[in-house]
Amino acid sequence: MKIVVAIRQVPARDSQFRIAASGIWIDESDLTREINEPDAYALEAALQLRDSAGGEVVVLCAGPEGASQTIREALAKGADRAIHIDTGAAAPSDPLTLARTLAAALAAENADLILTGLQSDDLGYGQTGVILAEVMGVPHATIVMNVEVAEGGIRVKRELEDGWFQQVAMPLPALLTIQSGATKLRYATLMGIKKAKTKEVRVIPVSDLAPAAAPAIRIARIYTPVKSKNSVIFDGPPAQAAAQLVEKLRFEARVI
């Protein structure tokens, strides 16, 4: 089974974020970077599938030259080879453009299974995996907690609301978006780090995959949320004040 895992390099969560002078993104000049956490769980799910059913795990990453560090980390954890779509300055920021770029790179791979994280930690659209499946014309499932090889395809466990789960049988090829926390992540061993240096990383300039196009989504402005305090005094009998409090908590604070 050939499994492709799409990963993304994002700013580390413990970074000190500042809004850039442009006002449309953060200042990235001194940020440390790491693999997107939901993608790390997708990689772990792929490695477990390969270990149990055999096959190959291929890492796919679209990003600038610096993304090679994250790619090597994925190879050190056990991925067999990697494809790096060199985007130059930065990766496409909108999910439609990114999905089309990934699909073009995957056209020659004939993957049996494609895994992505549920969403990215930086933009958080939660759409790239689903759009990629639609662009490639393959069935997909989201919020997946577990994947097993079954007769004629795979069987997946999806997380629903209120503690409910759903078991779904799917044919191959297919695409799954993996839920964070679905399993325990492995660490790269010293031997894995050494082997990663010799594993194949195929670099593809983004210009070789698709002509430049205007992004489908444009960020107009980012800003720090305004903090404010507002006190409300409820007059009247205790029963009436309590009813007013419940109404505020339910429809304005939305905590009950």
226: three-class secondary structure by DSSP:
coil
Q: Give the predicted TM-score (pTM) of the model.
A: 0.82
d(CA 94, CA 247): 39
Place of tokens 């594993």: 199
pLDDT at 90 over 80: no
d(CA 18, CA 10): 15
Residue boundaries of the structural domains of the chain: 2-208
- Rounded to the nearest integer, the mean pLDDT of the chain is 90
Q: Mind listing the pLDDT tens digit for each residue in 106-157?
A: 998 999 999 999 998 888 888 999 999 999 999 999 999 999 999 889 999 9
Give the mean pLDDT of 89-109.
86
Record: fold of 2-208: Rossmann fold (3.40.50)
How many CB atoms lie under 10 A from the CB of residue 34? 17
Q: Mind listing the pLDDT tens digit for each residue in 206-228?
A: 888 877 667 778 888 888 888 87
pLDDT band at 229 (very low <50, low <70, confident <90, very high): confident
pLDDT at residue number 102: 94
Apex CA 92: angle with CA 180 and CA 11, to 5°?
Answer: 50
